[in-house]
C-alpha cells in the first residue's frame, strides 16, 4: 500500500474543514481577475489570512486549464536538506482530498523535509480547486545552486500538460514602507529573469532556478500582484512581502 503525506498546517494556515476551506478559496478566487494560463508561476505560502489574496491572483489564471501534472517546488524551512527531495509518499493529502504523487527518477526522497513543511502544502488546495484532478511532483528545496534547480526544472518541464509552481514569500519583518521598496526591487529582478538573494525571498533557491530555466527557454515574466501582510492583515510595523508572478513563452 502507498503512503500519504498528511496535512501539517490544516487548521492553522488554512481551514481544516473541507467545506470551509473550499468556500474560503472560492471567495478569494472570485475577487481575483482572470488572465491567461501561465506555463510557470511564483506564489506566496503564508497563512491564507495574510497571503491568500495574492496567491488567488495567480491561481485564478489556472481556472479551466487542461493541466495534468504540477511540478511544485518550495523551500525547506525546518530540515537541513542538500539538493531537492521528494516525500516518501505516493499521495499528498489536504482536507480537499488526496493528490497522487508522480515518482520521478533522479531525485532523493526525504520524509522529514516534507513532514512539517508548509511551503508546498498551502499551494495544493488552490491547485485542487482550480485544476481538479492532476498528478503532483512535490520537491522540497534545500541547499541547492540555481544551476541544479534549473536542471531539475528543465528535466520536468514537459509540455502544455505540465505546470511549474514555485512557492516563495518575499521580504520578512521589515517596516511597511521599507518592505514595499525591497519587494519592488525584488520584483524588478524577477521580471528581468535575474537573480534574487536569500534575504529577498525565503524561496530564493527555487526562484533562481526558475529564473535561469526561464531565461534559457526564452520566457517572459509578468507581475500579477505585489503586496504584503500590512495590506491584507493590517499590521504595518513588521510585515512579510508576497508576490505573484506568471511566466509565458516570449511570443505568447
pLDDT at 2 over 90: no
> Which of 48-52, 78-82, 128-132, 204-208 comes out lowest in average pLDDT?
78-82
Summarize the confidence of residues 66-71 as an average pLDDT: 97
How many domains is the chain partitioned into structurally?
Answer: 1
- Vertex 62 angle, CA 165 and 48, to 5°: 65
- Hunting for cell 509565458 — which residue is that? 248
CATH of the domain at 196: 3.40.830.10
**Contact at 8 Å (CB) between 243 and 54?**
yes
pLDDT at residue 242, rounded to an integer? 98
Residue 252 pLDDT class (50, 70, 90 cuts): low
- Over residues 9-56, the pLDDT tens digits come to 999 999 999 999 999 999 999 999 999 999 999 999 999 999 999 999
d(CA 28, CA 56): 6
By C-alpha distance, which of 183, 55, 65 is closest to 118?
55
pLDDT at 1 over 50: no
Q: Select the more confidently predicted residue: 244 or 252.
A: 244
Residue 73 domain boundaries = 4-249
DSSP-derived secondary structure letter, 37 = P
Q: What percent of the chain clears pLDDT 70, i.e. is strictly above it?
A: 99
pTM of the model: 0.97
Give SS3 for 106: coil
* CA distances, 70 to each of 93, 126, 166, 179, 212 (Å): 15, 12, 10, 31, 19
pLDDT at residue 103, rounded to an integer? 86
By C-alpha distance, which of 168, 142, 137 is closest to 153?
137
Amino acid at each position: 500500500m502507498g503512503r500519504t503525506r498528511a496535512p501539517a498546517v490544516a487548521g492553522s494556515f488554512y481551514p481544516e474543514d473541507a467545506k470551509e476551506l473550499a468556500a474560503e478559496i472560492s471567495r478569494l478566487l472570485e475577487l481575483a481577475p482572470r488572465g491567461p494560463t501561465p506555463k510557470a508561476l511564483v506564489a506566496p505560502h503564508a497563512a491564507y489570512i495574510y497571503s491568500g489574496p495574492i496567491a488567488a491572483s495567480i491561481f485564478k489564471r489556472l481556472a479551466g486549464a487542461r493541466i495534468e501534472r504540477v511540478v511544485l517546488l518550495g523551500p525547506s524551512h525546518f530540515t537541513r536538506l542538500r539538493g531537492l527531495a521528494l516525500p516518501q509518499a505516493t499521495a499528498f493529502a489536504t482536507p480537499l482530498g488526496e493528490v497522487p504523487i508522480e515518482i520521478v527518477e533522479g531525485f532523493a526522497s526525504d520524509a522529514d523535509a516534507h513532514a512539517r513543511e508548509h511551503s508546498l502544502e498551502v499551494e495544493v488546495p488552490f491547485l485542487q480547486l482550480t485544476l481538479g484532478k492532476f498528478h503532483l511532483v512535490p520537491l522540497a528545496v534545500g541547499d541547492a545552486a540555481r544551476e541544479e534547480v534549473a536542471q531539475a526544472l528543465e528535466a520536468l518541464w514537459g509540455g502544455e500538460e505540465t505546470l511549474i509552481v514555485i512557492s516563495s514569500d518575499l521580504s520578512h519583518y521589515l517596516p511597511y514602507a521599507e518592505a514595499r521598496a525591497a519587494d519592488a526591487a525584488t520584483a524588478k529582478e524577477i521580471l528581468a529573469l535575474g537573480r534574487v538573494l536569500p534575504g529577498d525571498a525565503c524561496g530564493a533557491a527555487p526562484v533562481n532556478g526558475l529564473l535561469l530555466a526561464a531565461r534559457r527557454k526564452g520566457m517572459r515574466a509578468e507581475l500579477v500582484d505585489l503586496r504584503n501582510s500590512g495590506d491584507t492583515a493590517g499590521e504595518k510595523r513588521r510585515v512579510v512581502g508576497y508576490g505573484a508572478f506568471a511566466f509565458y513563452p516570449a511570443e505568447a
